[in-house]
Amino acid sequence: DTGVSQNPRHKITKRGQNVTFRCDPISEHNRLYWYRQTLGQGPEFLTYFQNEAQLEKSRLLSDRFSAERPKGSFSTLEIQRTEQGDSAMYLCASSQRVGGGSDTQYFGPGTRLTVL
């Protein structure tokens, strides 16, 4: 168990460019979450997957954002036509959800996006 990994750790891009981030969850985990964290704030939920199905999306996830989890393994988060307001830390978390009740999320180190 190597934990949740995210790549790249840092990304600097120019406004209007597209960027893609990758998250590799803990291998046996069926749930994968994406969050955004800006300076001085806690993580804000963006979307989550159970296996390959995207079950919920936050209103924060505009139509420029898209996330996929093909085959229920790794996930990608793409931002098209980036804006300076997209600058943030993008966090991924995974968990193993069995039945009802809460599950413990394990977070990756994050990808810090800077849009110039």
Q: Which residues bind other proteins (CB under 8 A)?
A: 4, 33, 40-45, 48, 55-56, 91, 93, 101-110
- Provide the β-strand partners of residue 13: 115
CA angle (17 as vertex; 15, 23 as ends), nearest 5? 115
CA distances for 80 relative to 29, 34, 50, 61, 110, angstroms: 28, 16, 24, 12, 19
Instruction: Kindly tell me which of 74 and 106 has the beta carbon lying closer to other proteins.
Output: 106
Nearer to other proteins, 93 or 115 (CB): 93
- What's the min distance (Å) between Cβ of 44 and other proteins? 7
CB of 81 to other proteins, least distance (A): 27
